[in-house]
Chain A
Amino acid sequence: MAVSTPQASGQRSSSRAFGLVVGLALLAFACLASLWVGAKGIPFTATWDLLWHNDGSSEAVIIHDLRVPRTLLGLLVGAGLGLGGALMQALTRNPLADPGLLGVNMGASAAVVVAIGFLEITTLTGYLWFALAGAAVAAVLAYLLGTAGHGSAAPERLVLAGAAVTAVLFAFVQAVLLLNPLTFNQFRFWDVGSLASRRMDVVAQVAPFIVAGVVLALSQARALNALALGDQAGKALGAHLGRTRALVAVAVTLLCGAATAAAGPITFVGLAVPHAARLLVGPDQRWVLPYSMVLAPILLIGSDIVGRVIGGAEEVEVGIVTAIIGAPVFVLLCRRRKLARL
Chain B
Amino acid sequence: MTALRAGRLSVRLHPRAVVVAIALAVATFAMSVVALTTGDYPLSIPDVVRTLFGDGPPGAGFVVTTLRLPRLLTGLFVGAALGVSGGILQSVSGNALGSPDVIGFTQGSAVGAFFVILVLDGGMLAVSAGALVGGVVTAVVLYLLSYRGGVQGLRLILMGIGVSAMLLAINSYLITRASLQDAIVARSWQVGGLNGREWGHVTVAGLTLAVLLPIALAFGRRLSLLELGDDKAQALGVRTERTRLVLLAVSVALAAFTVAVAGPIAFLALAAPQVARRLSGTAGPALATSALMGAFLLVTSDFVVQRLFGSRLPVGVVTGAVGGLYLAWLLVHQWRRRA
Residues of A within 8 A of B (CB): 94-97, 145-146, 148-150, 156-157, 159-161, 163-168, 170-172, 174-175, 177-179, 181, 184-185, 188-189, 191-192, 267-268, 271-272, 275, 316-317, 319-324, 326-328, 330-331, 334-335, 339
Question: Considering the chains assembled together, what is the distance between the CA atoms of A267 and B154 in angstroms?
Answer: 19
CB within 8 Å of A: which B32-52 residues: none
Cβ-closest chain A residue relative to B270 = A163
Could you tell me if B191 and A331 are in contact, using CB atoms closer than 8 angstroms?
no
Partner of A339, one of B154, B165, B319: B154
Could you tell me if B162 and A179 are in contact, using CB atoms closer than 8 angstroms?
no
Question: Considering the chains assembled together, what is the distance between the CA atoms of A334 and B155 in angstroms?
Answer: 7
Could you tell me if A188 and B183 are in contact, using CB atoms closer than 8 angstroms?
yes
Binary flags per residue of B145-163, CB closer than 8 Å to A gives 1, else 0: 1101000101101110111
Question: Considering the chains assembled together, what is the distance between the CA atoms of A161 and B312 in angstroms?
Answer: 29
Could you tell me if B169 and A319 are in contact, using CB atoms closer than 8 angstroms?
yes
- Which of A159, A164, A323 has the most chain B CB atoms closer than 10 A to its own CB? A164
Partner of B313, one of A150, A161, A179, A271: A179
Chain A residues, Cβ within 8 Å of B183? 184-185, 188
Could you tell me if B176 and A178 are in contact, using CB atoms closer than 8 angstroms?
no
Could you tell me if B328 and A164 are in contact, using CB atoms closer than 8 angstroms?
yes
The total of Cβ contacts below 8 Å across the A-B interface reads: 168
Binary flags per residue of B298-339, CB closer than 8 Å to A gives 1, else 0: 000000000001001110111111011101100110011001
Could you tell me if B331 and A145 are in contact, using CB atoms closer than 8 angstroms?
yes
Could you tell me if B191 and A163 are in contact, using CB atoms closer than 8 angstroms?
no
Cβ-closest chain B residue relative to A326 = B165
Chain A residues, Cβ within 8 Å of B158? 95-96, 275, 330, 334, 339
Chain A residues, Cβ within 8 Å of B175? 188, 192
When A and B form their complex, which 7 residue pairs have the shortest distance between CB atoms, in order from nearest? A167-B324, A323-B169, A171-B321, A171-B320, A268-B165, A168-B324, A323-B165
Partner of B316, one of A174, A271, A272: A174
Chain B residues, Cβ within 8 Å of A172? 321
Chain B interface, >50% SS class: helix
Chain B residues, Cβ within 8 Å of A339? 152, 154-155, 158
Could you tell me if A323 and B328 are in contact, using CB atoms closer than 8 angstroms?
no
The verdict on B173 contacting chain A, using a C-beta distance below 8 Å, is: yes
Chain B residues, Cβ within 8 Å of A156? 96
Q: List 29 A-B contacts (CB under 8 A).
A: A96-B97, A96-B98, A148-B331, A156-B96, A160-B274, A163-B270, A164-B331, A167-B271, A167-B320, A171-B319, A175-B309, A178-B188, A179-B313, A184-B183, A184-B187, A185-B180, A188-B183, A192-B176, A272-B161, A272-B162, A319-B169, A322-B169, A323-B169, A327-B163, A327-B166, A331-B159, A334-B158, A334-B162, A335-B146
Could you tell me if A174 and B331 are in contact, using CB atoms closer than 8 angstroms?
no
Chain B residues, Cβ within 8 Å of A321? 169
Could you tell me if A188 and B168 are in contact, using CB atoms closer than 8 angstroms?
no
Cβ-closest chain A residue relative to B321 = A171
Cβ-closest chain A residue relative to B152 = A339
Could you tell me if A94 and B335 are in contact, using CB atoms closer than 8 angstroms?
no
CB within 8 Å of A: which B162-199 residues: 162-163, 165-166, 168-170, 172-173, 175-176, 180, 183-184, 187-188, 191
Could you tell me if A165 and B324 are in contact, using CB atoms closer than 8 angstroms?
yes
Could you tell me if A157 and B331 are in contact, using CB atoms closer than 8 angstroms?
yes
Partner of A175, one of B154, B165, B176, B313: B313
User: B161 to chain A: closest CB distance in Å?
Assistant: 6
User: B186 to chain A: closest CB distance in Å?
Assistant: 10
